[in-house]
Amino acid sequence: MKETFRVLAINPGSTSTKVAVYDNENLLFEQVVRYSNEELAPFDSVIAQYEFRKNGILQMLADKDIALESLDAVVGRGGLLKPISGGTYAVNTAMLEALRLAERGEHASNLGGVIAKEIGDKLNIPSYIVDPVVVDELADVARVSGIPGCDRGSIFHALNQKAVARKIAKELGKSYETTNLIVAHMGGGITVGAHQSGRVVDVNDGLYGEGPFSPERSGTVPTGHMFDLCFSRQHTLSEVKKIIAGKGGLVAYLGTNDGREVVKRIEAGDTKAKLIYEAMAYQIAKEIAANAAVLSGNVDAIVLTGGLAYDQMLVKWITERVRFIAEVKVVPGEHEMIALTEGALRVLRGEESAKEY
Ligand SMILES: Nc1ncnc2c1ncn2[C@@H]1O[C@H](COP(=O)(O)OP(=O)(O)O)[C@@H](O)[C@H]1O
Ligand SMILES: CCCC(=O)OP(=O)(O)O
């Protein structure tokens, strides 16, 4: 069997594309391209960003002198599919179709599998996704919403939440399967998950109208006001969806999806920016405390992760409100690139079989 596998990992997020190449677990290079909301505004769907994002990835590889022919596999962050268990999946025709047609909705991660498949097929090498955003381990009690037929679902940063939770469990000297954690991933979207003995038993839907608002999403909004907006005849359905995911949150209040820009404005004395950013911290803290109830108060640690966890002001505001629950651990950025690569390597090495969608 081959001793070294070269894996290209592709991670499209709502505000960025992250690309990495690994020889086994050793990182050769990693690069992030961030997009402003103006840059993505001309595209009327996620799939319409396909060429733009794919060309960016190929350019990054060319700039780093990585020959495409040297790759053994391509792995992408998986998108909005039907609810499935975690693990590594081969990108097959059914998956490709669901992602291309956005059968389950629009999110940047839909492009992960599609771009991986295109590059993989051209090189005649396998393409995979790992722990997509639809990994569903919700407890039955968490699915009930209050309206029959409107069940709650599980759409979240599964890949990073699981990877970071495993890392923290290890730091605590325990296994993931025997640890209770609350993990808040704070990126373009924000999801807060209750990890109970290795299962994410409750989490806010990070895409459509649940949980804290985020750089580009509304989170939970007062339902009555939302009805008025929907029936005002001023917006189409797709416009309303964009108000919630894409043009909500920081974008709606401050015109930017960039946490760093907001921090700059606050430092320059902008009181509106401070109020809105502090409100985001407040809502994240509230969601964390709700998950403490989900875990009946048995919480080994609270973990703050994602791009916004780089910002010490936000981390301080959240920590002040939730440290009474448990110790707060901060893991800025994400562990998604290595988690994607490890998922592909397990299959390439024959330690696991790729699951079929
Ligand atoms: N040092 C920082 N300070 C404040 N915000 C930051 C910092 N670094 C990244 N961010 C913000 O984090 C968010 C993106 O997080 P990330 O987890 O990379 O998102 P995604 O993968 O969802 O696109 C953006 O709002 C970005 O501006
Ligand atoms: C769809 C849930 C995951 C998510 O929100 O990812 P981004 O923060 O990358 O948009």
Domains of the chain: 6-136+337-349 (3.30.420.40), 158-333 (3.30.420.40)
Residue 165 Cβ inside 6 Å of ligand 2? The answer reads: no
pLDDT tens for each residue of the chain, 357 residues long: 789 999 999 999 888 999 999 999 999 999 999 888 788 889 989 999 999 999 999 999 999 999 999 999 999 999 999 999 999 999 999 999 999 999 999 999 999 999 999 999 999 999 999 999 999 999 999 999 999 999 999 999 999 999 999 999 999 999 999 999 999 999 999 999 999 999 999 999 999 889 999 999 999 999 999 999 999 999 999 899 999 999 999 999 999 999 999 999 999 999 999 999 999 999 999 999 999 999 999 999 999 999 999 999 999 999 999 999 999 999 999 899 999 999 999 999 999 999 999
Which ligand is in closest contact with the Cα of 265? 1
Which ligand is in closest contact with the Cα of 333? 1
Q: What ipTM was predicted for this assembly?
A: 0.98
- Shortest-distance atom of ligand 1 to CA 215: 25
Nearest residue to 199 (alpha-carbon basis) of 114, 125, 244, 136: 136
Rounded to whole angstroms, how far apart are CA atoms 8 and 69? 11
The runs of H, that is alpha helices, within the chain are 37-40, 50-63, 93-100, 110-123, 140-143, 158-171, 223-230, 237-244, 249-254, 259-267, 271-294, 312-322, 336-348
Pocket of ligand 1 (CB under 6 A): 13-16, 187-189, 215, 257-260, 263, 306-308, 310-311, 334
Strands of 150-207, DSSP E: 180-186, 190-196, 199-203
State residue 209's pLDDT score.
Answer: 87
Residue 206 Cβ inside 6 Å of ligand 2? The answer reads: yes
Nearest residue to 119 (alpha-carbon basis) of 174, 167, 41, 57: 57
Maximum separation of any 2 CA atoms in the chain, in Å? 63
133 Cα to the center of ligand 1, angstroms: 18
Burial of 176 (C-beta count, 10 Å sphere; 0-12/13-18/19+): middle
- Shortest-distance atom of ligand 1 to CA 188: 22
257 Cα to the center of ligand 1, angstroms: 8
Residue 291: strand, helix, or coil: helix
Parallel, antiparallel, or unpaired: how do β-strands 73-77 and 26-34 relate? Answer: unpaired
The residue whose CB lies within 8 Å of the most ligand 1 atoms, and thus the one to mutate among 46, 274, 308, is 308
334 Cα to the center of ligand 1, angstroms: 10
For 321-341, b/e burial (b = at least 16 CB within 10 A) is: ebeebbebbebebbbbbbbbb
Structure-token pair, residue 193: 């998950």
- Shortest-distance atom of ligand 1 to CA 250: 25
Separation of first and last alpha carbons in the chain: 27
- Shortest-distance atom of ligand 1 to CA 261: 27
- Shortest-distance atom of ligand 2 to CA 156: 2
- Kindly write down the DSSP assignment for every residue of 326-345, as one continuous string: S-EEEEEB--HHHHHHHHHH
* Angle between helices 158-171 and 336-348 in degrees, nearest 10: 90
Parallel, antiparallel, or unpaired: how do β-strands 328-332 and 301-306 relate? Answer: parallel
35 Cα to the center of ligand 1, angstroms: 11
Which ligand is in closest contact with the Cα of 34? 1
Residue 35 Cβ inside 6 Å of ligand 2? The answer reads: no
The residue whose CB lies within 8 Å of the most ligand 2 atoms, and thus the one to mutate among 49, 156, 251, is 156
Structure-token pair, residue 122: 């051209």
Q: Are 209 and 223 in contact (CB under 8 A)?
A: no
Parallel, antiparallel, or unpaired: how do β-strands 6-12 and 16-23 relate? Answer: antiparallel
Rounded to whole angstroms, how far apart are CA atoms 70 and 116? 15
Residue 185 Cβ inside 6 Å of ligand 2? The answer reads: no
Residue 14 Cβ inside 6 Å of ligand 2? The answer reads: yes
Which ligand is in closest contact with the Cα of 212? 2
